């Protein structure tokens, strides 16, 4: 395997990486406490690993970067002097790519660290393609930062970097929002109002090119359904991004499973009308179930032109 295929995996299996991992495991076994400082047994070794003049030690730097939060919490002064400069694209693009791939292997939010690496984090958006398989994780992490805004970043800063993410990155962003919303469980309504809605109003790109990407439209449809009790509000905000999907069976399944046609028949009808055109394929029995549930919940909707059109589409393309 070539190093560029997966920087982290390559580092883990490299002799320098194996030694670094062993040092980290020993250090963790000593149960280090916040702000106690790095132990003398490992500090000089970590210093040497962070020396960018020694190219082969980069594999060790990748693994130290993966443990940045723990190292920062235990010895902030050391981390700022030795470890955090590795994340700076202005100092070395090669080292920054390695450090970010290490960190993005399993990223977590820690506000003091975010403040310390704010500019390199934002600048990483311009190096998206260089991150390889970890690029999607960057987009997802950036989105979680935006959802849990705090006072480290402004919405303008996050909007600017989100706007330059490629299509793949925006897809990862929507998936991250959906996971966070689902994770809110019974608090989805509040999470939608307090976190997700502000994200789409202030951070999410507004250009028409984004609106016309089918995969993003489908993912946003899934986000609407994931909002559950906030489904009407989500649909109102995201309806302009929804467009017909060639094979809408997955979204129909999610809508039916969530029982939203019973709860919000008018909104469910608007949703189905947006994602299903006259040539939709693979319309299974769940689609008919959705129409039946809408009619049972509000009989007047059975005379709605959208309902009649969708009924005809099922008659033509439905699979009973």
Beta strands in the chain (DSSP E): none
In a 10 Å sphere around its CB, with 0-12 CB exposed, 13-18 middle and 19+ buried, how is residue 146 labelled? buried
- Residue 4 pLDDT: 54
Q: From the CA atom positions of the chain, what is the Rg in Å?
A: 24
Considering the entire predicted model, what is its pTM? Answer: 0.92
Rounded Cα distance, 137 and 192, in Å: 22
Token pair for 65: 């970067």
DSSP for residue 229: G
- Residue 283 pLDDT: 82
- Residue 166 pLDDT: 94
- Residue 258 pLDDT: 96
pLDDT in tens, 145-189: 999 988 899 999 999 999 999 999 999 999 999 999 999 999 999
Note every long-range contact of 162-165, with CB atoms under 8 Å and residues 24 or more positions apart, other chains counting: 162/125, 162/203, 162/204, 162/205, 163/205, 163/207, 164/125, 164/126, 164/128, 165/125, 165/128, 165/139
- Residue 320 pLDDT: 62
Residue 111's beta-bridge partner residues? none
Could you state, in order of their start, the residue ranges of all structural domains in the chain?
1-106, 107-204
pLDDT tens-place values along the chain, 320 residues long: 344 558 889 899 999 999 999 999 999 999 999 999 999 999 999 999 999 999 999 999 999 999 999 999 999 999 999 999 999 999 999 999 999 999 999 999 999 999 999 999 999 999 999 999 999 999 999 999 999 988 899 999 999 999 999 999 999 999 999 999 999 999 999 999 999 999 999 999 988 677 778 899 999 999 999 999 999 999 999 999 999 988 899 999 999 999 999 999 999 999 999 999 998 877 888 999 999 999 999 999 999 999 999 999 998 876 66
CA dihedral 71, 77, 83, 87 (to 10 degrees): 110
Token pair for 98: 């390695």
In a 10 Å sphere around its CB, with 0-12 CB exposed, 13-18 middle and 19+ buried, how is residue 270 labelled? middle
């Amino acid at each position: 395997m070539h190093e560029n295929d997966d920087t982290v995996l390559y580092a883990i299996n490299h002799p320098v990486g194996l030694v670094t991992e062993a040092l980290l495991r020993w250090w963790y076994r000593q149960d280090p406490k916040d702000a106690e400082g790095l132990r003398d047994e490992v500090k000089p070794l970590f210093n040497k690993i962070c020396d960018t003049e020694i190219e082969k030690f980069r594999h060790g730097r990748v693994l130290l970067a993966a443990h940045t939060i723990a190292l920062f919490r235990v010895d902030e002064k050391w981390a700022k002097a030795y470890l955090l400069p590795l994340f700076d694209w202005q100092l070395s693009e090669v080292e920054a790519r390695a450090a970010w791939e290490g960190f993005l292997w399993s990223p977590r939010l820690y506000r003091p660290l975010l403040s310390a690496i704010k500019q390199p984090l934002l600048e990483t958006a311009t190096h998206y393609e260089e991150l390889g398989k970890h690029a999607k994780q960057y987009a997802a992490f950036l989105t979680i930062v935006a959802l849990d805004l705090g006072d480290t970043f402004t919405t303008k800063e996050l909007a600017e970097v989100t706007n330059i993410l490629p299509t793949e990155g925006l897809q990862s962003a929507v998936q991250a929002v959906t996971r966070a919303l689902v994770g809110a469980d019974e608090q989805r309504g509040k999470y939608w109002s307090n976190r997700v809605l502000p994200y789409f109003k202030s951070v999410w790109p507004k250009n028409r090119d984004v609106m016309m990407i089918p995969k993003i439209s489908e993912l946003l449809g899934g986000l609407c359904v994931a909002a559950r009790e906030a489904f009407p509000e989500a649909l109102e905000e995201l309806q302009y991004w929804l467009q017909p999907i060639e094979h809408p069976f997955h979204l129909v399944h999610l809508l039916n499973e969530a029982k939203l046609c019973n709860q919000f028949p008018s909104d469910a009808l608007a949703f189905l009308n947006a994602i299903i055109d006259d040539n939709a394929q693979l319309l299974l029995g769940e689609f008919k179930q959705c129409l039946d549930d809408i009619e049972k919940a509000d009989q007047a909707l059975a005379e709605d032109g959208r309902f009649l059109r969708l009924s005809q589409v099922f008659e033509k393309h439905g699979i009973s």
